[in-house]
Chain A
Amino acid sequence: MLEVKDLRVSVEDKEILKGLNLTINPGEVHAIMGPNGAGKSTLSAVIAGRDGYEVTAGSITFEGENVLEMEIEERARAGMLLGFQYPVEIPGVKNVYLLKAALNAKRKHLGLPEIEAPEFMKLVREKLQFMKMDNSFLHRSVNEGFSGGEKKRNEILQMLTLEPKLALLDEIDSGLDIDALKVVSEGVNSLRDAGRSIVMVTHYQRLLDYIVPDHIHVLSDGKIIKSGDKSLALELEKRGYDWVIEEAAQ
């Protein structure tokens, strides 16, 4: 589904990703872990198309299409959605407008007519309930005045409504207390499906207790230096990253 090959990315002339390879197949859940400054957030930002990242070599393809040539909104419509580490507050844009505009953009891409208002409201209310969010959220401005936990739940609400093929979750667990983490994890787990892939970038083993990945990768100094199954996370929790880095250096 997603194929990243020998990806090199610079930010303001400083190379952050230095030849990164990653293959995600349909239905798989991957976790990317690593020390601070390893390039974890750069990877998700480049896939989503954020400005300020210069790809100097390599490729990213999604279902065979060259992602780097797609506009930001085309990537989302093709089925790639990024859940932000720091969701942006958008004063004055009501959640209901964002969800409806985004859903209709996706439907248009699929050749479907715009969703009817009652059907839309039914769908969104269902998703809100699942995320334990009040209906009043719909008429509040996107993330404005939301607590950290509410912002992350709102990201997952968007995922549940838009049903991407590939969900990229950038430190979706950061700043969450245990109750919010459970709600967010339940939301992500409900997205698990044979046709859908999930990539989580995280700092903490704790998230992986709730969303159990199929594959774990260690990203260090711009490259994936070790991959394994979920048992790797436990080892990282116990022994830290240094041994992996040393092992890779040999």
Chain B
Amino acid sequence: MSLSEYTDQWLSAVMPQVSEGPGWLTDLRQGAVEQFATQGLPHARLENWKYTDVKALAKRDFSLPKKVDAAELVAEKSLGVQGLRLVFVDGLFSPELSDLGDLPKGVNVLPLADNANAAKTVLGQVAAANFSGFTALNLASWQDGVLIDLANNAVLEQPVYLQFVSTAQENAVLIQPRILIKAGVHAQATVIEHYSGAEEAASFSNVVTEVDLADGARITHYKLQQESAKQYHVASLHVQQQRDSRFTSHNICLGGKLARQDIQVELNAEGAEVYLDGLYLGNGRQHLDNHTLVNHNAPHTNSNEDYKGILNDRSRGVFNGRAVVHRNAQKIEAHQSNANLLLSDKAEIDTKPELEIYADDVKCSHGSTTGQLDESALFALRSRGIDEAMARGLLTLAFANEVIDRIEIPEVHDQIEEAVAGRLPEKFNLKGLV
């Protein structure tokens, strides 16, 4: 069977969800169903999906999630971030495990399934339904999620922690969260999307996040993906920025059997800037793909991207970072860097930083490196009595720390560093050190 022949199978699996919600929503969903029926799941002939084959995923049967009790699993996987907490078990909001606290004036944090009408003017405004077949599928059949709505000048001091936990189910479930962040003029917030699962969880998470920043708004977004080794994860983050706004993304990709993250940023007005930080660490046969696209649509806009990858065993990494400087977008700065460490002969990275420039007064740089560890640093560590394997482990962690150290929330920083140390090859054994 070719990929397109699975489309009907997927549609019939999600159909019960398409009729969920008020009339305007079911109309929107129906349109997305048609879009998905035309587009289907992405195939390897598409340039953007050249290195990531989703056929194994397409063939799988998934059912829609049901409410289950998972308090213990949720507690075990929690990063313990101080602040607002919304817990989603198999994609469905779990009010009894969540804590919405006291929200400051002008801030609304609403679970989406029960508050769909509040999202009427926001849903689908930043993410195009046809971005990929997965985006269309999510719009047609998302189950739950959150709307974070910040009025002009509203400042949320504490982060919003969105914890998504997948349970082990007999029939693998399809989890489709929709996350909507709308920041008014000079509004500020930090949002953490954290995905993890039970060891035997074999679900598929198909996530779409939309972020809309008005003039001067500041949003810091964390995407921490620590799903189980059997889970599939496809996510796209769409960002639209107005004048003098700043968006910062920390994208940490550690889990999953196959994980694909797209980030699309539209810098629409002067002074808008975006920071994209990423780290991916692959073990076993993991396949980890990160695609980013920044459109400089206006003059005096800045983008900075720093992605690092560590690939061990037979894992495979894909990085594609594209910055497009459109006509008349003068005086922009766009910097991209992607560095990779291959820890085994059988690990692979396909990396492609791309700059497309249609303006003539711009400052751009891009670079990609793939290499081994610094020999003089290795000697310096060994000369202190540290054995070679551990010295290599320390230097590998150090490489990751260049990204991890920019994480500003202490609980998240420490746990991600520990998780990375614990996922390094067994022989490095940094577990007790960090």
Contact = CB atoms under 8 A, between A and B. Distances in A.
A162 interface: yes
Interface in A71-114: 71-73, 75-77, 81-82, 84, 87-88, 90-93, 97-98, 100-102, 105-106, 109, 114
Interface in B365-389: 374-377, 379-388
B434 A76 contact: no
30 contacts: A49-B383, A51-B375, A51-B379, A71-B382, A72-B382, A73-B383, A75-B383, A81-B384, A82-B383, A84-B380, A88-B377, A88-B379, A90-B395, A92-B399, A92-B401, A92-B402, A93-B398, A97-B433, A98-B386, A100-B433, A101-B384, A101-B386, A102-B381, A102-B384, A102-B386, A105-B387, A105-B390, A106-B385, A142-B380, A158-B384
B307 to A, nearest CB: 16
Interface in A185-207: none
B432 interface: yes
B397 interface: yes
Interface of A: 48-51, 71-73, 75-77, 81-82, 84, 87-88, 90-93, 97-98, 100-102, 105-106, 109, 114, 141-142, 158, 162
Interface residues of B, number: 28
A88 B376 contact: yes
A88 B380 contact: yes
Interface in B405-434: 405, 432-434
A49 B384 CA distance: 12
B394 A48 contact: no
Interface of B: 374-377, 379-388, 390-391, 394-395, 397-402, 405, 432-434
A75 B387 CA distance: 11
B381 A98 contact: yes
Contacts of A92: 395, 397-402, 405
A88 B383 CA distance: 12
Contacts of B377: 88, 90, 93
8 closest A-B pairs by beta carbon, nearest first, are A92-B398, A76-B385, A102-B384, A92-B401, A72-B382, A105-B385, A88-B380, A93-B398
A98 B432 contact: no
Instruction: Among B375, B400, B433, find the residue whose CB has the most chain A CB atoms closer than 10 A.
Output: B433
